[in-house]
Amino acid sequence: MLGIMLQKMWHKKWMNLSLLLGFILLVATAASFPLYQTGAYNRMLTDEFDHYLSSQGVWPAQLSLQVSTKKEKDGKTIKTMEAFIPSIYRDLDVKERDTITLYTMTSGEVSSEYERNDASDLSARLGFKSHLEDHINIVNGRMYSDSGLSEDGAIEVIISQKCMTKQGYLVDEPMVYDAIRNFEGKPLRYKIVGVFEPISAGDLYWNDKETEFDDLCLMNEALFRDSFLGEKAVKYSFVCRYTALFEYDDIKADDVERLKKQIDHYAHVGSYRNVIDEPPILAVLDGYSNKHSRISATLTILQIPVLIMLAAFLLMISGQMYEMERNEISVIKSRGSSRLQIFLLYLYQALSLTGLGILGGVPLGMLLARLLGSTRNFLIFDLSEQLTVRFDKHAALYVLAAAGIGLLCLTLPAIRHSKVSIVNLKQQKALNKKRLWEILFLDVICIGIGGYGYYNFTRSSADVAENVLNNKAMDPLLYLSSSLMIVGLGLLFLRLQPLLLRLVYTVGKRFWRPAPFIAFMENVKNGRKQQLIMLFLIMTVSLGMFHSAVARTIVENAVRNTDYKDGCDLQMKEVWTEVVDRNGARTGVYIEPDPAKYLTASFIDSYTKVYRLKDIEADGGKNGKLSINLMGINTKEYGSITWVDKKLNGKAYYELLNELAVVENGLLVSANFRDKLGYKIGDSITYKKENSGNATGVIVDFFDYWPGYAAEESVQQPDGKVSTESNYLVVAHFEYLKSKLGELPYEVMAKMKEGATAEQIYEWTEANNMRLTTYVNRNDDLEEAQTDPLLQGTNGVLTLGFVVTLILCGVGYLIYWIMALKERELVFGVLRASGFHKGEVFHMLFLEQIFCGGLSIAAGFGIGKLTSTLFVPILQKVYASSSQILPLELISDSSDLIRLICVIAAMMVICFLVLTLMTFRMNVAKALKLGEE
């Protein structure tokens, strides 16, 4: 049996190779989706952590615990805690990054051995912070010695600069801690030997509360433990703070649910819940989980059609194979083989193909997953960005499922075919019956459902938007509707195509020259055999077009939106210190951080100062009062640094700026403000900032869009409902506002030089010791928008789906035609023998390709265009972020279409060349003698 199988497989090696290819692709595609997703989720998780870290300045993967002990004799609490901390890493199965321990004694009165002239009481706390020496610079004096004791037996301590100024200490000042006694019962003596400052302000080691070091004298850890925690030590009360920082790079998507559960248990249920601070990691993981479920649902919906196409491909090829082997099967059967034997023969073949398919498919799947991870747009990859892909149990599950489906596709037809004996074979061959779908009007049904879906979703597009805000996944029906529409239209074309050809044929019935005559007749008689491959072609092209439109539109809209929201290359706002009066009350007067540094920044091309003031009260007299956002700009500078697309306002951006430039107290006002209060050009508005006086301006024009301005903001209410709030923006002159409202903290907007990097900015802010409250870098934001896992995953899946269907289509098409030509070998022999010229053979084949492939591709383009126009506008709402400001636009890039056409044309040309070559190399005499005994 094995011998027969191998012989059979070798005999049809091309067929089997294509089946194998189909199998490999099926397995690879099936594996690549979970592999990519896991990789992307891991990356997304890391991004979420990174994002938390950079926005909050707090290490997200940490647990902080704080206990206070009350003069315990046995020191049990501390012992328990010190045993508990290491167990956190073990239980959570995470890698320790750092464990920071801070022990302090309660505050007590101290006295200096120096004569002090201020009368105020000095108080201090003694304590230690683990591996302090790695994180500080000594700015004055020295570090405490290794023993922690000075020669005279006093404890050496170091203090912060703030403590130094606040308490008025001197270096080397000997102190006495009255409340604390040493072993001999004498008051404890200590000596301030140095003053420290953190090596770096951003060091995550300094996660303490702001006032922590105001009165803390830090000493040697060993000495502290020995003196106050040891066996012989006198018992005191302590405050112990532990921070367990663990590496988040090592936390994988798979760990999330487990970690969430465990950490939630620690913080809210377990016995340590009262001493654990609310862990920041929970918020990060929750945010991640929400995104994750939305993405995975969406991507799952998107990948189903690809998998269906793959299965259909296997069915088609195996169908072809059975078709070819019908004679053999019926002969074997007539000679007395049982159906079971025939079935087993095919089962073994399918099993060996499955095995090889898995062997080849898994590595290819990993490669595809990596490729998916570097998708930037439809059919566009950025290979410098690689995804880490590891084969895991999810992927294994997918592979097994794919292999199972493939196996079914290969063996199920065998059951049907094993019934056929030589007798009914000939009868069957003559038939050109209507297919089931034609009888059932499946095309009309599909179009109907798709059309209904379109109608429904157009009507309720608000729901689609609400789902986006609620982080819900795409409604599968939406994608299904568009897919059904494509299938339905494709089938409708298949119904119409023969009628069209017949019409053309009938017109010139008698006059057709031999080549077109044969081509027409072949299609009229055997057209139905081509339907599957034609449907494949139509689907490939139309899905390709549709998907490229979806991908292009969602990415481009996200990019444009980001671009608009940022409005310029770089925005920064430093922390301005507000001057406080003697009583500690705010004065509304701020100290401007040194502006000279902007002039020296090597990456800045030009910059401008901008006021952005919130909660300004605008008084329009009889028009009423409203809270507005007020902006102050230098029109010329601002115009050269920011931009707004001309078509958004129906008026060039610079025209608005010019109108403002010529009126000293001029105002540009958002259109919704006008609509709300009924303003017109020339009206004046008085606006007032709390504590800062007021100003009056004259409206010079209105705008709909302004850099970064969103007229409406969607806000999610606690009950989950989404409501919109209006933003009113008024733009005035910077200098005018300054003169009327006084010096206020401004923001700097800058245009960056070509090739400037985020590292440069980072180094510059570090070097200038800047504390920023606002930092917006357009390049970073654009990159973030493009690598958003939902967008990228969608692009990746759509691109991969397209590439896979294209390969299948090419291979399927070629196989179909090779088979068809093989079947017609005798006819070709007859034609050539009867004097058919090579040119005519070429002509005939060409026409047949046009009838089958050409028309299908043309139909595919038409259907793709139609479906894109109908469905992309609805679909893209699914991908629009909740912060979408610009009107969504259907974006098609002619380069996408050209790329698609090139790829498909290349496929067709290759197929055509192979077929022509094959026909020409056919030995006419040999073909004719086929029937010879």
Partner 1 sequence: MGNIIEVQDVSRTFPVPGGEFQALKHINAAIPESSFVILKGRSGSGKTTLLNIICTLDKPTGGTVRIDGEDVSKLTDYKKEELRRKKMGFVFQSVSLIPSLNAFQNVEFSMRMAGIKPGKERDKRVEECLRLVGLGNRMTHMPAEMSGGEQQRVAIARALAHKPKMILADEPTAELDSAMAAKVATLFAEMSKKEGISILMTTHDVGLMGAADYLIELNNGERIDGGEN
780: CB partners within 8 A, 6+ apart = 758
Q: Does 184 bind partner 1 (CB under 8 A)?
A: no
* Nearest distance from C-beta of residue 506 to partner 1, angstroms: 14
Closest to partner 1 by CB, 809 vs 915, is 915
Query: Is residue 517 near partner 1 by the rule CB under 8 A?
Result: yes
Instruction: Note whether 141 and 201 are within 8 A (CB).
Output: no
* Candidate segments 29-37, 140-148, 517-525, 680-688, binder of partner 1 by CB under 8 A: 517-525
Say which DSSP state 153 is in. S
**Minimum CB–partner distance for residue 929 and partner 1 (Å):** 7
Q: Which of 502, 495, 500 is nearest to 441 (CA)?
A: 495
Q: Which of 416, 713, 838, 917 binds partner 1 (CB under 8 A)?
A: 838
Choose the stretch contacting partner 1; rule: CB under 8 A; options: 198-206, 361-369, 513-521, 852-860: 513-521
As a whole number of angstroms, the distance between CA 398 and CA 31 comes to: 6
Please list every residue from 328 through 367 that binds partner 1, using CB under 8 A. Answer: none
Which two tokens mark 116?
A: 């002090």
Q: Whose Cβ is closer to partner 1: residue 359's or residue 521's?
A: 521
**Closer CB to partner 1, 436 or 925, in the complex:** 925
Q: Which stretch binds partner 1 (CB under 8 A): 149-157, 377-385, 680-688, 832-840?
A: 832-840
CA distance 798 to 306: 9
Using CB under 8 A as the binding rule, whether residue 834 contacts partner 1 is answered as yes
Could you say which of 48, 475, 522, 566 contacts partner 1 (CB under 8 A)? 522
CA 298, 304, 310 angle in degrees (round to 5)? 150
- Among residues 201, 440, 500, 833, which is the contact residue for partner 1, using CB under 8 A? 833
Per CB under 8 A, does 514 bind partner 1? yes
The answer to whether 557 touches 889, Cβ cutoff 8 Å, is yes
- Looking at the Cβ atoms of 514 and 588, the one nearer to partner 1 is 514
Complex with partner 1: residue 2 or 430, whichever CB lies closer: 430
Q: Identify which of residues 430 and 596 has a Cβ nearer to partner 1 in the complex.
A: 430
DSSP sequence for 242-307: EEEEE-STT--GGGHHHHHHHHHIIIIISTTTTTBPPPHHHHHHHHHHHHHHHHHHHHHHHHHHHH
For 287, residues 6+ apart whose C-beta sits below 8 A from its C-beta are: 48
CB 512 → partner 1: shortest distance, Å?
8
| Local structure of 74: helix, strand or coil | coil
Distance CA 687, CA 67 (A): 52
In the bound state with partner 1, the residue whose beta carbon lies nearer, of 383 and 499, is 499
- Are 774 and 573 a contacting pair, CB within 8 Å? yes
Min separation Cβ 532 and partner 1, Å: 19
Closer by beta carbon to partner 1, 147 or else 432: 432
Window 32 to 91, contacts with partner 1 (CB under 8 A): none
Helices 789-823/280-334 angle, 10° precision: 10
Q: Nearest approach, Cβ of 525 to partner 1 (angstroms)?
A: 4
Q: CB of residue 505 vs partner 1: minimum separation in angstroms?
A: 12
| Interatomic CA distance for residues 305 and 311, integer angstroms | 10
Q: Which amino acid is at 725?
A: E
Please list, in sequence order, all residues whose beta carbon lies within 8 angstroms of the beta carbon of residue 100, skipping any fewer than 6 positions away. 129, 130, 205, 207, 241, 242, 243, 245
Q: Minimum distance between the CB of residue 837 and partner 1, rounded to whole angstroms?
A: 5
- Contact segment (CB under 8 A) with partner 1 among 10-18, 366-374, 436-444, 834-842 equals 834-842
The span from the CA of 499 to the CA of 491, in Å, is 13
**Residue 180: its H or E element:** strand 173-181
Of 411 and 523, which CB lies nearer to partner 1 in the complex structure? 523
Segment interacting with partner 1, rule: CB under 8 A, options 520-528, 589-597, 614-622, 793-801: 520-528
Task: Give the burial string for 718-738 (b: 16+ CB within 10 Å, else e).
Answer: eeeebeeeebbbbbbbbebbe
Least Å from the CB of residue 830 to partner 1: 5
**Best CA proximity match to 549, nearest among 348, 193, 794, 223:** 794
Q: Is 513 in the site for partner 1 (CB under 8 A)?
A: yes
Sign of the torsion formed by the C-alpha atoms of 846, 851, 856 and 859? positive
Q: 344, 524, 663, 922: which one contacts partner 1 (CB under 8 A)?
A: 524
Backbone angles phi, psi at 101, to 5 degrees: -120, 130
Among 61, 403, 518, 549, binds partner 1 (CB under 8 A): 518
The helix (run of H) or strand (run of E) holding residue 789 is: helix 789-823
Toward partner 1, which CB reaches closer, 626 or 852? 852
Contact flag: residue 931 with partner 1 (CB under 8 A): yes
Instruction: Kindly tell me which of 14 and 920 has the beta carbon lying closer to partner 1.
Output: 920
Cβ proximity to partner 1: between 523 and 562 the closer is 523
Residue 924 binds partner 1, judged by CB under 8 A = yes
Shortest Å, Cβ 325 to partner 1: 20
Query: What is the identity of the amino acid at 767?
Result: A
822 interacts with partner 1 by CB under 8 A: no
Choices 178-186, 437-445, 531-539, 825-833; region in contact with partner 1 by CB under 8 A: 825-833
Question: Cβ 808 to partner 1, closest distance in Å?
Answer: 28
Q: What is the largest CA-CA distance in the chain?
A: 127
Q: Which residues pair with 123 in a beta bridge?
A: 109
Q: Looking at 153, 185, 584, 835, which residue binds partner 1 (CB under 8 A)? A: 835
Among 23, 607, 836, 912, binds partner 1 (CB under 8 A): 836
Tokens for 494, please give them: 């298949």
Stretch in the footprint of partner 1 (CB under 8 A) among 109-117, 208-216, 509-517, 743-751:
509-517
State the minimum distance, in angstroms, from the CB of residue 437 to partner 1.
23
Q: Which of 343, 512, 654, 775 binds partner 1 (CB under 8 A)?
A: 512
Site membership for partner 1, residue 510 (CB under 8 A): yes
Q: Are 564 and 644 contacting, i.e. CB atoms less than 8 angstroms apart?
A: yes
Return d(Cα 293, Cα 299) in angstroms, integer. Answer: 10
**119, 436, 503, 930: which one contacts partner 1 (CB under 8 A)?**
930
For 718-775, the three-class secondary structure string (H helix, E strand, C coil) is: CCCCEEEEECCEEEEEHHHHHHHHCCCCCEEEEEECCCCCHHHHHHHHHHCCCCEEEE
Q: What is the DSSP string of 639-691?
A: HHH----HHHHTS-HHHHHHHHHT-TTEEEEEHHHHHHHT--TT-EEEEE-TT
Whether the CB-CB separation of 858 and 530 falls below 8 Å is answered with no
Q: Which of residues 525-554 bind partner 1 (CB under 8 A)?
A: 525-526
Task: Print the binding letters for residues 414-433 with partner 1: x by CB under 8 A, - otherwise.
Answer: ---------------xx---
Q: Taking the complex as a whole, how short is the minimal distance between the CB of residue 377 and partner 1, in angstroms?
A: 46
| Separation of alpha carbons 856 and 868, rounded Å | 18
| Closer residue to partner 1 (CB): 116 or 429 | 429
CB of 840 to partner 1, least distance (A): 9
Q: Which of 390, 416, 586, 929 binds partner 1 (CB under 8 A)?
A: 929
Instruction: Examine residue 654 and tell whether it contacts partner 1 (CB under 8 A).
Output: no
For residue 826, state whether it binds partner 1 (rule: CB under 8 A).
Answer: yes
The answer to the question of residue 855 lying near partner 1 (CB under 8 A) is no
Q: How many CB atoms lie within 10 A of CB 207?
A: 17
Nearer Cβ to partner 1 (718/931): 931
Residues forming contacts to partner 1 in the complex (CB under 8 A) are 429-430, 510-514, 517-518, 521-522, 524-526, 826-827, 829-831, 833-838, 924-925, 928-933
